[in-house]
Every structure is written in C-alpha cells, then in structure tokens.
Amino acid sequence: MPNSIQIKTINHVGIPIWDRRVSLKFYRDVLGLQVIPSMVDSPNIVWTHTLDGTMVHLIEPSDGETLGGSHIAFEVKNFDSAVAAIQSSGYPDISDTGERHDGQRCIFVSDDDGNKLEFTTASGLKPSNRVVDALGYTTEAGTNVVAPSPSEIKISGINHVGLPINNRVDAMKMYRDLLNIKVIPHQIGGNTLTWTELADGSMVHVIDPPKSVGPRGDGRQHVAFEVADIESTAEFLINADIEIVEGIGTRHDEQQFLFVYDPDGNRIEIATRGDHSETKRTADNNGYTSENGVLL
C-alpha cells in the first residue's frame, strides 16, 4: 500500500535504563526534561518530555533483570491506514494495536535490522486525571508533582535519531518506501549513512557498519536532542561533571553537536538545528551524497 503512511513528527523515543533514581539525575536534573504522568499501566516506564512536548520514555527492565532495547515512535496523520500498511508490509514483530489512557493508539514493528519502530496517533486525545510523583510513578488519584529541575539546558525537542542498519539500500525499503520519509543529502564527510527528514524537519539517520563501540555497545544508536545554544549547554554539562566525549563539532550545514553518555551508556547527542535548505549537495535515492557532482 504505497503512500499510506504519512509521518508528522517524532512522538517519543524509548530509552532503556536500569534505575530511574540514577537516570533522572541525568535526564531531569542535567538535561532538564520534565517528568509527566505516564499513560500506560506498566510501572517500569518514566514518562518525560522536552519543551515542545516530544516525549522521552525511560524504560526500566520490566522483570527487574533484562534491559530492553530502545525504540522510536512516529506520530502519523492517519493511524488506521498506517496500521493497514504495516500489517501488509511483511516486516517482523508486528504487534497488536493498543490504546493508552489518553486515547493515544499505537502499533509496533521492527525493521530488517531489529530496530523497533512504533507508530502512534497524537497524544492527549482523551482527558486524564493521572498524576505523577517526583520519580515518575503514576497513579489515578492524588497530587501531581512537578519536580523542579536545576538545569539551564533547554531542550526544545528531538533533532534526529541514529539507527544502526546493515545495508542502507535495503533499509530504504522501510524508511523511504514504506514510511515515505524524504531522503536528503547528508552534511558530514564520507558516505557511511543516509539522512532522511520528516515534514517537521526532524530527521532519521540510518547508519551503515562498522559498529561504533561505546560503553554499552553500538553508538550508531543514539538520540540527538535539539538546543538553540550549544556553548552554554556544553558549559552546563561540564559544570555538572558530564563528560563530553565528542565535540563541539560543526557539520556542513552549520549544525553544531556534541556527544555524551547517559548513566547506562546510552549515547546521547545534543545538537543545534542545521540549515540545509540551500545545500548544494545532492543525494541519490539511497542517500549517497555528492558535492559539485562528486561523490563524497
């Protein structure tokens, strides 16, 4: 079913963590994410959001022992036709559809490389009286706690996610053909990844081997949070004793970026918004990028 999935934006990402008491010191106190009531029954998930409402779900092991994987959730314009397209796609691990306490509907599927993708409606379709405590534990009644963050970092949303894949020509059958995400020229050196862009300018970068080995495995898998001011962000990170492992760097579209790790070794990028609207670079169908007609 071509063109039946129309993605609006990234609704949320799910990031595996071991212990919210440790992780919230990073995500809430350093990065400034706000804890919000969870709209699912699973008690092991902390819901947070960035300034524009894009959510970050921090997921503890549901059994206390087995750390899960990360996932990215795309909000689609027409959920029912997206479900039909996914169900007839032939991709693995297709879940049943679910509905959350706020009326948000969802379905999961994996790509050929095991990256877990979720598709959702908008959030907040139904009113909810759920309340949350300072640690992200949610109940149906009580007092809602808005835990203050001492952070001066202002994360406006998610700039992009990086997904590890084995072959991006094959991966484009999912991201370009099924999900209709636009392939754009990338703005770095070499040709080891494909940049794709959603309607709202947020991006999905699918990244070929080799693995980029970090404290907890493959750093190709990462979430990039967007800020307006990278310099003051770096200063706050340094003062908070968070090690900047790469950057501040600048990409070809003037996007500035740096990398840190969360307490569990998840690779986290913080980046400004680049402006590649007037780029002279071109990309083929699969994102192989050329400059002045010469393949990078």
Catalog residues that contact Fe ion under the rule CB under 5 A.
14, 73, 118, 162, 224, 269
Looking at the Cβ atoms of 46 and 73, the one nearer to Fe ion is 73
- Least Å distance, CB 146 to Fe ion, is 23
Min CB(226)–Fe ion separation in Å: 11
Taking the least distance from each CB to Fe ion, the nearer of 26 and 195 is 195
Nearest distance from C-beta of residue 205 to Fe ion, angstroms: 6
Least gap, CB of 73 to Fe ion (angstroms): 4
Rounded distance between C-alpha atoms, residue 133 and residue 296, angstroms: 51
- Nearer residue to Fe ion within complex by CB, 66 or 292: 66
Write the CA distances from 274 to 106, 188, 226, 228, integer angstroms: 31, 12, 10, 10
In the complex, what is the shortest distance from the CB of residue 20 to Fe ion, in angstroms, rounded to a whole number? 16
SS3 assignment, position 227: coil
Nearest to 75 by CA among 118, 14, 126, 124: 118
Q: Shortest Cβ distance from residue 192 to Fe ion (Å)?
A: 12
180-202 in b/e form (b: 16+ CB < 10 A) is bbebbbbbbeebebbbbbbeebb
Cα dihedral sign for 37, 123, 176, 107? positive
- Range list of H helices, the chain: 20-27, 79-87, 168-172, 230-239
Residue 177 buriedness (CB in 10 A; 0-12 / 13-18 / 19+): middle
Question: Which token pair is 16?
Answer: 């595996």
CA angle 294, 288, 273 (to 5 degrees): 100
Question: How near is the Cβ of 293 to Fe ion at its closest, in Å?
Answer: 26
The answer to whether 59 and 17 have CB atoms below 8 angstroms apart is yes
CB of 160 to Fe ion, least distance (A): 6
Nearer to Fe ion, 14 or 164 (CB): 14
Count Cα atoms within 13 angstroms, Cβ side, for 252.
Answer: 17
Amino acid at residue number 96: D
User: What span, in angstroms and rounded, lies between the C-alpha atoms of 49 and 59?
Assistant: 14
Q: Cβ atoms within 10 A of the Cβ of 151, count?
A: 18
